[in-house]
Amino acid sequence: MAKRTTFTRVLDENKYEIALSTNNLRVNYGDYEALHGVSLQFERYKITALIGASGSGKSTYLRSLNRMNDTVGSAQVSGQIMYRNLDINSAQVDVYEVRRHIGMVFQRPNPFSKSIRENITFALQRRGLHDSKKLEQIVETTLKQASLWEQVKDDLNKSALALSGGQQQRLCIARALALEPDILLMDEPTSALDPISTANIEQAMQELKQHYTIIIVTHNMQQAARVSDYTAFFHQGKLIEYDQTRRIFTRPQVQLTEDYVSGHFG
Ligand SMILES: Nc1ncnc2c1ncn2[C@@H]1O[C@H](COP(=O)(O)OP(=O)(O)OP(=O)(O)O)[C@@H](O)[C@H]1O
Ligand SMILES: [Mg+2]
């Protein structure tokens, strides 16, 4: 039976810097309510993992955080998403601006069919940056941050599609970083990758968190335990428990969490 039914709020707003928070966030697809009011706070420069069985609402929640659900026709998102004292779920807020601050990396690597260099410079040039020295500098810095530089520095004109899946995913991370976000959302970024590529991405994430706040959805509980500082467990569209990762995996407060992390379902 449930030891306790509510989740503990481990972050004290006065003590920690909160990069992003949601307040009673609900998502409907037509008549179907997929997310039933989720309130969570994300601490700056930490990695938070969202875990839960298939269909529990992790991607729905993550996609709401940078207004990607705006692109899903039937999705209706209500509640607040607070970022820098602004409710970015409000209709007046420019979604492109939101996505510049809150970047996203998807499950399948999706580089543009362009050169490695252009994958990074494309959006910047579209935004009016044409200083080639500056652009080269950004290419180098972001590829280093994504732990890809050493492997591609002599081949920047090569097609991104010629890279391995893991390299493509790191390029997508570099591409997201080029827009200088301060939050990075990752939806199962390693699920299509082999163990070595996965380890490379996890390594890159540890370095990235010095400068970015990362929110990652993962099906892989070992991965959540390895990379994240905090873990939020979702079940059937609800946030069941949120806590420091090591507590979620060793001493969860809610029976359902314990059942899930010990592999009893999902
Ligand atoms: N575009 C959509 N239209 C209608 N229903 C959707 C849509 N996207 C998700 N859903 C539904 O919302 C619920 C939550 O789905 P979501 O994709 O957020 O789960 P998830 O936890 O990310 O699952 P998975 O681990 O399989 O990726 C599911 O019941 C799903 O069928
Ligand atoms: Mg998903």
Q: Which residues make beta-bridge pairs with 151?
A: none
Position 15 scores a pLDDT of: 62
Position 88 scores a pLDDT of: 96
Angle, to 10 degrees, between the axis of helix 165-178 and the axis of helix 195-208?
20
Which runs of consecutive H residues, i.e. helices, occur in the chain? 58-65, 95-101, 116-126, 132-145, 149-152, 165-178, 195-208, 221-227, 245-250, 255-261
- Closest atom, ligand 1, to C-alpha of 188: 27
Q: What is the mean pLDDT of each run of 10 residues along the chain (266 residues)?
A: 42 73 97 97 97 96 96 94 94 92 93 98 95 97 93 98 95 94 95 89 93 96 96 98 97 96 86
Distance of CA 168 to the CA centre of its chain: 17
Ligand nearest to the CA of 187: 2
187 Cα–ligand 2 center, Å: 7
Query: How far apart (Å, rounded) are the C-alpha atoms in residues 210 and 220?
Result: 23
Q: Is 173 helix (H, G, I), strand (E, B) or coil?
A: helix
Position 8 scores a pLDDT of: 43
Q: How does 48-60 read in b/e, with b if 16+ C-beta sit within 10 Å? A: bbbbbeeebbbbb
Position 10 scores a pLDDT of: 53
Residue 223, both tokens? 């991965």
Position 193 scores a pLDDT of: 85
Residue 167, both tokens? 């390299």
H or E stretch at 239 = strand 238-244
67 Cα–ligand 2 center, Å: 16
Position 102 scores a pLDDT of: 96
- Closest atom, ligand 1, to C-alpha of 29: 4
Ligand nearest to the CA of 56: 1
